[in-house]
Amino acid sequence: MSERGRAMRAAVARPPYDIMRAAHAELHVRDLAVARDFYVEQLGMIVAAETADALYLRGWEERLHHSLVLRAAAEAAAAHLAFRVREEADLERLADAFTARGVESRWVEDELGQGPGLRVQDPAGFPLEFFHAMEPAESQLRRFDLQRGAPVLRFDHFNLHVTDVETVAADWFRHGFRCSEYIETDASPGRLTGAWLLRKPTVHDVGLTLGRGPRLHHLGFWVAEPMGVLRACDQLAASGHVACIERGPGRHGVSNAFFVYLRDPDGHRIELYSCDYYTGDPDHEPLRWSASDPRCRSFWGTRAPDEWYEESSILLDLDGSPVELHDAPADERSEIMA
Amino acid sequence: MSERGRAMRAAVARPPYDIMRAAHAELHVRDLAVARDFYVEQLGMIVAAETADALYLRGWEERLHHSLVLRAAAEAAAAHLAFRVREEADLERLADAFTARGVESRWVEDELGQGPGLRVQDPAGFPLEFFHAMEPAESQLRRFDLQRGAPVLRFDHFNLHVTDVETVAADWFRHGFRCSEYIETDASPGRLTGAWLLRKPTVHDVGLTLGRGPRLHHLGFWVAEPMGVLRACDQLAASGHVACIERGPGRHGVSNAFFVYLRDPDGHRIELYSCDYYTGDPDHEPLRWSASDPRCRSFWGTRAPDEWYEESSILLDLDGSPVELHDAPADERSEIMA
Amino acid sequence: MSERGRAMRAAVARPPYDIMRAAHAELHVRDLAVARDFYVEQLGMIVAAETADALYLRGWEERLHHSLVLRAAAEAAAAHLAFRVREEADLERLADAFTARGVESRWVEDELGQGPGLRVQDPAGFPLEFFHAMEPAESQLRRFDLQRGAPVLRFDHFNLHVTDVETVAADWFRHGFRCSEYIETDASPGRLTGAWLLRKPTVHDVGLTLGRGPRLHHLGFWVAEPMGVLRACDQLAASGHVACIERGPGRHGVSNAFFVYLRDPDGHRIELYSCDYYTGDPDHEPLRWSASDPRCRSFWGTRAPDEWYEESSILLDLDGSPVELHDAPADERSEIMA
Amino acid sequence: MSERGRAMRAAVARPPYDIMRAAHAELHVRDLAVARDFYVEQLGMIVAAETADALYLRGWEERLHHSLVLRAAAEAAAAHLAFRVREEADLERLADAFTARGVESRWVEDELGQGPGLRVQDPAGFPLEFFHAMEPAESQLRRFDLQRGAPVLRFDHFNLHVTDVETVAADWFRHGFRCSEYIETDASPGRLTGAWLLRKPTVHDVGLTLGRGPRLHHLGFWVAEPMGVLRACDQLAASGHVACIERGPGRHGVSNAFFVYLRDPDGHRIELYSCDYYTGDPDHEPLRWSASDPRCRSFWGTRAPDEWYEESSILLDLDGSPVELHDAPADERSEIMA
């Protein structure tokens, strides 16, 4: 194992709370009807609830009320990113831990379909929510007769645009996240241009990508198999939505997953993602990729479009104001093209 | 090449007419609404036209009006099996040829969506139709957003239960059909238990299976890829139609195709079929299978249920009366189990 | 949630040790060269080590030395079934717990490629091993150029033939296992004919099947996608191993996985298994299937061959003697056919 | 049907000879060992014969001796493109027809594994060969245990870079080729930027692409299903050949096929191609695409790299000298980007 890998593993803390997994996000969209068409008619997600200004969605496998909230707003933005904790008491433990670190937290009690949420703007600037209770839902995993598109089975991960991967990763290690893979420049010492961090035993719950930030790079949703990713592309192109296909389909080197990136009508990026691997053993060794290896993001070497590196969703802080952005010293492109 | 293969190739005639391919079938069904649910809602076929007593369907790739007619009747039966000829004048040439052989033929002028049809009851007892003209239709091959089920792309072949494969095959050779594959017992001389005969350059337009006959064993419809066959099974099971899945899915040894056999609500057998191979070169050599090889029908060795060997659709003659049945001396099962 | 589901969830203990997952098995085989051909040449598994009387294998994703041991012996049998614990100290805690329950345990110190193992014959008669330390191995997950067959990626689960599912399940609940799905007769009260129990967040680490026992019904290995299962079948049939394909391929109702069952040259049953779902949330509700639903084992309704219900691998006790067998009051077949 | 479509159909002649299909190509390569590694080790093609300066290859389905000849030479080039005719006598008929049109033809008698070939440099500058006789080979279609890569099943088509699609297409119509699809600019009158021409009933035997020419744009080989295309990419990337993947994988709008383009070590372009459709009916209507539709080449809208439009294999004339090149007035890119 590399020195970097050893250091990252040593940094993983055992906090008194248990963040189980990335669970849902709230996105602001400018036109709810247009967003509904994309997520419900085109991607085929299940409508869990609908209010005057919001739409609550989930995938076909999921057993909790929702994994995506779309809320009508004047500007597109990522309003909060939510993680599920193992038990209700973990929320108080988290609140205490944030207080001890001087991070303000707030309780949110009135979210549709779920119990209390603890909100913070984390040191990297991301609006996070932690919750445990949510209304159960019956899984529709075997309703192949009703499913459309890929279909989208469940929420999988957040990917975050950050200006300093090392620092942000260190913060997630404090929450007990481990690293499965990372991309590093070949300089000495190397700089991280990407890191994949997990609590549930898949490749990641949180991915970090070096770039202008803090911003939400994409939300990842799980699809059962590569053919589902292809089917979603076929369907989107056939229905006149070819412009929403941004990158792929293809195989990632990092994660080994088969993927496609889409852009929703507000520019939020959605990844359909399948076929990663098991990471549950605690001594799972972080895998290093050189930032100059063309296969690390696209195993087949296909160059991503520039907007994939440059564009992301802006974030809102706890008061609903946009989070200030900063340029990163570089992004992955320079290394691949070097 | 085996002696049998040589003999079969030598028997292929060059008649003055050109039968291009198997094209459509008319099935009698006892309840049109129930049949509609199966073919349209469950299999997802396109409705080309609907009358008081009949439904005209086609697959998503097809460019002619219909490839399947379902007609309400008191008893389930196969009313006619239709082949398309290259040009209108081929019909007169066929009529002359049948007359010369003492086979009565009749013209049918009033079929919905198509031009004149020439009908005969062939020497083996099958109600055949030959036609050229049919209303064109726009292919929906790329409408992945509308397609359901596998989807069913196009009609591919007829499979016929016959009591004497050698004799019936010889009759098709006279029409210019070639043989791609056959199953033969290991006795000396061997007896054919199956033969696959073609005009279009795929494995077959007409398959012959030894058994009680003459009956229609199944209609084969083309599916783009194996995953489509699996998807159709998933959808049928999810919607409560598990009982209609009779055999498979699996790979055929003969034809190398990936398949599943379904039974419609009237017991007519439908095969979803994909991935066979090119047979267009005229010196394509017939491939022999031993009837004792468990892989010839199911490449993975799975035993077919007895009803697959025993049950088939009865035929109607030109006057609409059921065609008399005869037992075959044997079927494939005895050899496989020997 | 059903009463049965609630009761099963309430029965899940929080023992002082952490059994992470099912990890490997040792099978006795009568001819090591013949077994090697099957597992290495046909299934394409990686050879981790080879000694005079044993072969150590793993899948292409795996990062520990081995997940299957084949040992030459006079009679085919399952010698032990191994689980990985989170840390070395868990082994002492397990030893104490077994002692407290009056179950004898033994330490095994000399296993190739791994650290100390704690062995017990559990109350149900199964020869279990618990271990933590094992030599690391580099994952070959992305070596698509070297992979053969499905390919087999990693060990997934054990399935056990037991004469009383309720009692054996209760014992696993004591070890902290949860239930994801179960099959129950429609009688009142219902009897369990199958149960799927997990520690890692997939459908199962241990499956229980009602039948003559205690025996090992099968070992399940993970495959990346359904097409891999089909490819493995094609390859086995092409190389003359069609007889080893026992059941499937098909989709399970229980687990939703795409599968095929194979029999190795000694009759040990291997399942190639892909596409189940996430079960990591602790409030995941057990899913009930009626034993009379033909879709519970085969979602497409295909009847399993009798040997699948009747045949299993015998077990060895800690001294290497065969474990005594008992008949079960029934098996799943009677209900499906009722 | 469009006026263009009607005109193209009216132009299809019924010559006295029958060109059945595109059959094989001879490519000059600078290092035979390097080329062998690519085609045999990486793509997994079957070696039919090997001489001091040439390698004869075929796909796993094919029943004739070879479908690709690689010959060692100082410069990479396409030496000839071969079509199979229905019978030996067609060759004399073709020779007469060329003579009548003032096109010089030559007989080649000494080609390994095949009978006499008739060579011409056609009016568009392409070195064509027509042949009938070739040594038979046993199909290896079902040898899944031996196949590697996609696998490559059979030769499918030539794609030609030409400076004037209309004129070259007209010449193929004279040979009895029909048009399945074409791309046309939206100007009035429109200019063709691509045309797909066929004899065998698939989408094409010969594709024409507007660009600097005459050159060979690519050779297309048939793969059984989309998953095979993905598997080939995975294998090439894993073995260190990521740079050979030029475009895709993806779905074509034109042809509906699933594809990937590779570049061999000499820069010759190979397409792995699957899932097009049936075109055998003589009244099959040519399908028009607007050159401004981003889906016509890439149904999912992915932009092709510039070299895909710009680079092609140079041709040799009958004396082995490079065929002179001319710029085209435009290529497809300008329209898509307009």
Q: Chains meeting D at 3+ CB pairs closer than 8 A?
A: A, B, C
Query: What residues of chain C lie within 8 A of the CB of B245, using their CB?
Result: 300-302
Q: Does D233 touch chain A (CB under 8 A)?
A: yes
Identify the band that residue D127 occupies on the pLDDT scale cut at 50, 70 and 90.
very high
Which pLDDT score, from 0 to 100, does residue A191 have? 95
Name which of C256, C259, C297, C300 to mutate to probe chain B: the one with the most chain B Cβ atoms within 10 A of its Cβ. Answer: C300
B75/B31 Cα distance (integer angstroms): 10
Which pLDDT score, from 0 to 100, does residue B294 have? 87
Minimal-distance CA residue of chain A relative to D226: A227
Q: Alpha helices of C175-225 — where are they, by DSSP H?
A: none
Question: Which conformational region is residue D179 in: left (phi greater than 0), alpha (psi within -120 to 50 degrees), or beta?
Answer: beta
Which pLDDT score, from 0 to 100, does residue C83 have? 98
Which pLDDT score, from 0 to 100, does residue D139 have? 97
Q: Alpha helices of D163-286 — where are they, by DSSP H?
A: 165-174, 226-238
| Mean pLDDT lowest among B19-28, B287-296, D203-212 | B287-296
Identify the band that residue D113 occupies on the pLDDT scale cut at 50, 70 and 90.
very high
Strand order in the sheet with D178-184: D245-251, D258-263, D269-274, D215-222, D154-162, D206-210, D192-198, D178-184, D287-290
B108/B21 Cα distance (integer angstroms): 19
Classified as helix, coil or strand, D27 is strand
B293 class by beta-carbon count within 10 Å (0-12 exposed, 13-18 middle, 19+ buried): middle
Q: How many CB atoms lie within 10 A of CB C221?
A: 24
Which pLDDT score, from 0 to 100, does residue D336 have? 57
Query: What residues of chain A lie within 8 A of the CB of D243, using their CB?
Result: 301
Q: Does A6 touch chain C (CB under 8 A)?
A: no
Q: Is it the case that residue C196 has pLDDT exceeding 90?
A: yes
Which of D154, C42, D279 minimizes the C-alpha distance to B21? Answer: D279
| Mean pLDDT lowest among B62-66, C93-97, D183-187 | D183-187
Q: Least CB-CB distance to D144: which of C144, C227, C235?
A: C235
Contact C284 A63 (CB under 8 A): yes
Q: Are A263 and A246 in contact (CB under 8 A)?
A: yes
CA distance D326 to chain B (A): 36
Q: Does C145 touch chain D (CB under 8 A)?
A: yes
Q: Chains meeting A at 3+ CB pairs closer than 8 A?
A: B, C, D
What's the rounded mean pLDDT across residues A132-142? 97
Q: How many CB atoms lie within 10 A of CB C2?
A: 14
Minimal-distance CA residue of chain D relative to C227: D227
Q: What is the pLDDT of residues B45-56, one digit of tens each?
A: 999 999 999 999
Query: What residues of chain B lie within 8 A of the CB of A238, using their CB?
Result: 142-146
Q: What is the pLDDT of residues B249-292, one digit of tens each?
A: 999 999 999 999 999 999 999 999 999 999 999 999 999 999 99
D81/D206 Cα distance (integer angstroms): 10
Q: Which amino acid is at A148?
A: R
Contact B226 D226 (CB under 8 A): no
What's the rounded mean pLDDT across residues A123-146? 97
Which of A205, A282, A198, A175 minimizes the C-alpha distance to C21? Answer: A282
- Quick one: what percent of chain D has pLDDT higher than 90? 93
Which of A332, A336, A334, A337 minimizes the C-alpha distance to A211? Answer: A332
C247/C209 Cα distance (integer angstroms): 16
Identify the band that residue C334 occupies on the pLDDT scale cut at 50, 70 and 90.
low
Give Cα separations from D296 to B63, D256, D292 (angstroms). 20, 9, 8
Q: Does B125 touch chain D (CB under 8 A)?
A: no
What's the rounded mean pLDDT across residues C63-83? 98
DSSP secondary structure of D59-121: -SS--BS-SEEEEE-SS-EEEEEEEEESSTHHHHHHHHHHHHTT--EEEE---TTB--EEEEE
Q: Least CB-CB distance to B145: which of A142, A145, A235?
A: A235
Q: Which residue has the higher pLDDT, B98 or D332?
A: B98
Contact C250 B245 (CB under 8 A): no
Q: What is the pLDDT of residues C131-172, one digit of tens each?
A: 999 999 999 999 999 999 999 999 999 999 999 999 999 999
Minimal-distance CA residue of chain D relative to C226: D227
Q: What is the pLDDT of residues B169-211, one digit of tens each?
A: 999 999 999 999 999 999 988 999 999 999 999 999 999 999 9
Q: Chains meeting B at 3+ CB pairs closer than 8 A?
A: A, C, D
Q: Cα Rg for chain C, rounded, in angstroms?
A: 19
Which pLDDT score, from 0 to 100, does residue A338 have? 46
Which pLDDT score, from 0 to 100, does residue B336 have? 57
Which pLDDT score, from 0 to 100, does residue A297 have? 85
Name which of B12, B141, B202, B277 to mutate to probe chain D: the one with the most chain D Cβ atoms within 10 A of its Cβ. Answer: B277
Q: Does A5 touch chain C (CB under 8 A)?
A: no
Which pLDDT score, from 0 to 100, does residue D89 have? 98
Q: Least CB-CB distance to C143: which of D144, D145, D238?
A: D238
Q: Chains meeting C at 3+ CB pairs closer than 8 A?
A: A, B, D
Q: Least CB-CB distance to B300: which of C237, C258, C303?
A: C237
CA distance B204 to chain C (A): 22
Size of interface A-B (CB pairs under 8 A): 25
CA distance B123 to chain D (A): 27
Contact B281 D63 (CB under 8 A): yes
Query: What residues of chain B lie within 8 A of the CB of A239, using their CB?
Result: 145
What's the rounded mean pLDDT across residues C72-88? 98
Instruction: Return all residues near A44 (Cβ < 8 A) that are at least 6 apart.
Output: A147, A148, A149, A150, A151, A152
Give Cα separations from C193 to A162, C185, C216, C284, C314 (angstroms). 52, 7, 16, 21, 20
Q: Does A261 touch chain D (CB under 8 A)?
A: no
What's the rounded mean pLDDT across residues D127-131? 98
Which of A168, A205, A179 minimizes the C-alpha distance to A5? Answer: A179
Classified as helix, coil or strand, C262 is strand
The DSSP symbol for D38 reads I
B132 class by beta-carbon count within 10 Å (0-12 exposed, 13-18 middle, 19+ buried): buried
Instruction: Please say whether the dihedral angle defined by the alpha carbons of residues C255, C256, C258 and C261, taken in this order, is positive or negative.
Output: positive
Identify the band that residue A329 occupies on the pLDDT scale cut at 50, 70 and 90.
confident
Q: What is the pLDDT of residues B137-165, one digit of tens each?
A: 999 999 999 999 999 999 999 999 999 99
Query: What residues of chain D lie within 8 A of the CB of B276, using their CB?
Result: none
**Which ipTM score applies to this complex?**
0.95
Instruction: Please say whether the dihedral angle defined by the alpha carbons of residues B131, B132, B137 and B142, taken in this order, is positive or negative.
Output: positive
Q: Does D186 touch chain A (CB under 8 A)?
A: no
A182/A179 Cα distance (integer angstroms): 7
Q: Which two tokens stand for residue A207?
A: 């991915």
DSSP secondary structure of B223-235: -SSHHHHHHHHHH
Contact B142 D299 (CB under 8 A): yes
Query: What residues of chain C lie within 8 A of the CB of B243, using their CB?
Result: 301
Q: How many CB atoms lie within 10 A of CB A242?
A: 19
Identify the band that residue A188 occupies on the pLDDT scale cut at 50, 70 and 90.
confident
Which of A163, A37, A53 minimizes the C-alpha distance to A112? Answer: A53
Identify the band that residue B118 occupies on the pLDDT scale cut at 50, 70 and 90.
very high
Query: What residues of chain D lie within 8 A of the CB of A226, using their CB?
Result: 227, 230
Q: Does C233 touch chain B (CB under 8 A)?
A: yes
Which pLDDT score, from 0 to 100, does residue B338 have? 46
Q: What is the pLDDT of residues B164-180, one digit of tens each?
A: 999 999 999 999 999 99
Which pLDDT score, from 0 to 100, does residue B334 have? 65
Q: What is the mean pLDDT of chain C?
A: 96
Classified as helix, coil or strand, D18 is coil
Q: What is the pLDDT of residues D9-57, one digit of tens each?
A: 999 999 999 999 999 999 999 999 999 999 999 999 999 999 999 999 9
Q: Which two tokens stand for residue D178?
A: 């029909």
Q: Least CB-CB distance to A294: which of D242, D258, D305?
A: D242
CA distance A225 to chain C (A): 6
What's the rounded mean pLDDT across residues A280-289? 96
Q: What is the pLDDT of residues D130-184, one digit of tens each?
A: 999 999 999 999 999 999 999 999 999 999 999 999 999 999 999 999 999 999 9
Which pLDDT score, from 0 to 100, does residue A336 have? 57
Query: What residues of chain C lie within 8 A of the CB of D239, using their CB?
Result: 145
Contact C245 B300 (CB under 8 A): yes
A105-108 vs D258-263, strand pairing mode = unpaired
